[in-house]
Amino acid sequence: MIYKFERPLIGDNMEGYSQKLYQCPICKLYYKNEEMAKKCRAWCSKHSSCNLAITKYSIERMKN
Ligand SMILES: [Zn+2]
User: Mind listing the pLDDT tens digit for each residue in 6-20?
Assistant: 545 544 445 554 567
Q: What one-letter code names the amino acid at 50? A: C
Q: Cβ distance 30 to 22 under 8 Å?
A: yes
State the distance from the centre of ligand 1 to the C-alpha of 1, rounded, in angstroms. Answer: 16
State the distance from the centre of ligand 1 to the C-alpha of 40, rounded, in angstroms. Answer: 4
Rounded to whole angstroms, the Cα distance separating 47 from 62 reads: 23
| 27 φ, ψ (degrees, to nearest 5) | -95, -5
Q: Cβ distance 44 to 27 under 8 Å?
A: yes
State the distance from the centre of ligand 1 to the C-alpha of 39, rounded, in angstroms. Answer: 8
Q: Please, where are the H alpha helices in the chain?
A: 34-47, 52-55, 59-63
User: Mind listing the pLDDT tens digit for each residue in 25-54?
Assistant: 999 999 988 899 999 999 999 997 888 999
- The band of 62, judged by pLDDT with boundaries at 50, 70 and 90, is confident
Q: Cβ distance 21 to 31 under 8 Å?
A: yes
pTM across the whole model: 0.66
State the distance from the centre of ligand 1 to the C-alpha of 44, rounded, in angstroms. Answer: 5
